[in-house]
Amino acid sequence: MKKIFFLTGEVSGDIHAASLLNELYKILPKEQLIVKAVGGIHLKNAGADIFFNSKHLASMGLTEVINKLPLYINLERELLFYLATFQPNVLVLVDFPGFNLRITSKIKKFSPKTKVVYYFPPQVWAWNTGRTKILAKHCDLVLCGLPFEETFHKKYGVNASYVGNPILHELEKFDRDEIRKELNLTKENTLISLFPGSRKSEIHYMLPVLLEAADMLHKAFANYKFMISQAPTISNLDSEIKAIVEKKNLSNVIKNITILPPGQNHKLLCASDFAWLTSGTVTLEAALYETPMILGYRGNQINYFLYLMLKKIDMIGLPNIIAEKKIVPELIQNDATAQNYYQTTKELLKVHGHLDKVKDSLRAVKEKITEKDASKEAALMIKNKFMPDYKVITMK
């Protein structure tokens, strides 16, 4: 009997971990695996026994972390105590570096024989390079999701391997014309999708800006339609929108904006002519759908100051980082204004040739993300390195 423990802290990590677990079940005898997790609905549906629901954990920036510090401290203590009893053969950490790196550095004291796998490690190439020391010292295997990460980590003595990016194989394939018809869009309509974020703080800072920009654009171009993606972690988006509309007197836009229920991200990205995205995984998803975008972010000024102090690169968007140049606009902090969204979007959509150039660049990014199936590659590596006594069931 083999025991595996997954540790995630955000929705994207829960999805990636569930995909990995599903692939492990294909090559290992399910009846001989005990799987526990800090995770969400996706890991639960995949078959993991949930120790703690990860939906309570996500935070962004110093101020949010401070607010949730008592929760993190209590969970760390309870989790380490539990792992000392459970003694997993493999601990799989997925993203969520602030918490996961603390567990990484302590787990061997409580469970010495546990093999530690970091699936999608922290983006230390962007900021806080010192974290590579923890990865090198305490992780038995680091599985990277971006092409350049393996070489970067190995320079610092990390046992790293590029397995591909799971987003590529998690993307749903749609008939764009059918989706637009389903969303009641005509050929004359230009659809701009709004992704204000999956955290309350992101909604607080980004949603007013995006709604005001949408109002400005619709006044200038009556054929523009707007749709908002609601994250599963945000339950009151409609009331948030109503409050902002009333406060800023945006009655014009409320008639031309539609809120899509959670789980419609891929469908919306596929159907969109343009997207306004809050920084995160969704930016890479948009790139893979070849959907032109503006990548924006606003937050607490203290958090932004700390980011400026610690950053190692001048870009935050994954499409730009992978392309190694700025192929899509980034509007960060004080630049993330409604006027800038309006002006930048108008130029990209209305100036001949601009949009085609962006789409060509996004296709180049897509080509850099190899056809490796990350979940399958990661499952095979975990099995072969840490469970070699089990016979591999051939993957199909």
Q: Half-sphere exposure of 14 toward its Cβ, with a 13 Å CA cutoff?
A: 23
- 359 within some domain: yes
One-letter identity of residue 389: D
Check whether residue 117 and residue 225 sit in a common domain.
Answer: no
The sign of the dihedral angle between the CA atoms of 337, 351, 280, 149 is negative
Characterize the bridge pairing of strands 190-195 and 274-278. parallel
Check whether residue 138 and residue 204 sit in a common domain.
Answer: no
Q: What's the burial of 83, exposed, middle or buried (CB within 10 Å: 0-12/13-18/19+)? A: buried
- The kind and range of the H/E element at 354 are helix 354-368
Rg of the chain over all Cα atoms, to the nearest angstrom: 22
- 391 within some domain: no
Characterize the bridge pairing of strands 274-278 and 257-260. unpaired
Q: Containing domain of residue 24, as a range?
A: 2-164+372-386
Q: Is the pLDDT of residue 141 over 90?
A: yes
Long-range residue pairs from 308-316, CB within 8 A, at least 24 positions apart, any chain: 310/127, 310/128, 311/126, 311/127, 312/125, 312/126, 312/127, 312/129, 313/125, 313/126, 313/127, 316/126, 316/279
pTM: 0.78
Check whether residue 207 and residue 159 sit in a common domain.
Answer: no
**pLDDT tens per residue, range 379-392:** 999 999 999 886 65
Q: How many domains is the chain built from?
A: 2
Residues 6+ apart with CB under 8 A from 241: 207, 211, 228, 254, 257, 259
Nearest in space to 285 (alpha carbons), one of 4, 5, 11? 11
Task: Identify the CATH number of the domain in which residue 152 sits.
Answer: 3.40.50.2000
Check whether residue 297 and residue 357 sit in a common domain.
Answer: yes
Check whether residue 118 and residue 241 sit in a common domain.
Answer: no
**pLDDT tens per residue, range 326-360:** 999 999 999 999 999 999 999 999 888 889 999 99
Check whether residue 272 and residue 125 sit in a common domain.
Answer: no
pLDDT tier, 58 (very low <50, low <70, confident <90, very high otherwise)? low
Residues 6+ apart with CB under 8 A from 331: 294, 295, 296, 297, 337, 340, 341, 344
Q: What is the pLDDT of residue 395?
A: 46
More confident residue, 64 or 287: 287
Token pair belonging to 231? 């994250």
Q: Is the pLDDT of residue 60 over 50?
A: yes
Token pair belonging to 163? 């397995």
Residues 6+ apart with CB under 8 A from 314: none
**pLDDT tens per residue, range 196-253:** 987 788 888 999 999 999 999 999 998 999 999 888 777 788 888 888 888 888 877 7
Mean pLDDT (the chain, rounded): 89
- C-alpha to C-alpha distance for 148 and 139, rounded to whole angstroms: 19
